Amino acid sequence: MRAGRLIGALGVALLCAPGTFVRTPMAEEMPHPTGPERIAGPAPTGDPAWQVAGVWRYAADHRYFGGFSALLPLDGERLQAFSDRGARFTFVEPDSRVRGAGGRPAGRSPVVLQPVEKGFEEDLKDIESAARDPATGTYWLGFEGLHAVHRYTAADEPDGLRVLEDEVDWPANSGAEAMLRLPDGRFMLLPEGEEEGLLFPSDPVAGGVPEAFAFRPPVEGYAPTDLARLPDGRLLLLMRRTVFALPPFETLLAIGPPPRAGGTWAPQVALRLDPVIPSDNYEGLAIRPLADGKAAVWIVADDNLSVMQRTLLAKLVFDPAAEAE
Domain layout of the chain by residue ranges:
3-322
- Domain 3-322's class? mainly beta
Cα→Cα distances 248→9, 66, 128, 282, Å: 9, 18, 20, 12
Q: How many CA atoms lie within 13 A of 22 on its CB side?
A: 11
Which pLDDT score, from 0 to 100, does residue 70 have?
Answer: 97
Which pLDDT score, from 0 to 100, does residue 72 have?
Answer: 98
Which pLDDT score, from 0 to 100, does residue 248 have?
Answer: 87
Is the pTM above the cut of 0.85? yes
According to the 3-state scheme, what is the secondary structure of 211-272?
Answer: EEEEECCCCCCCEEEEEEECCCCCEEEEEEEECCCCCCEEEEEEEECCCCCCCEECCEEEEE
- b/e map 208-243, b = 16+ CB within 10 Å: eebbebebebbeeebbbbbbbbbeeeebbbbbbbbe
Which pLDDT score, from 0 to 100, does residue 102 have?
Answer: 46
Q: Where are the alpha helices (DSSP H) in the chain?
A: 3-16
Give me the residues of the chain with pLDDT under 70, please.
1-32, 34, 99-110, 122, 325
67 CB-near residues (< 8 Å, 6+ apart): 83, 84, 85, 87, 302, 303, 304, 305
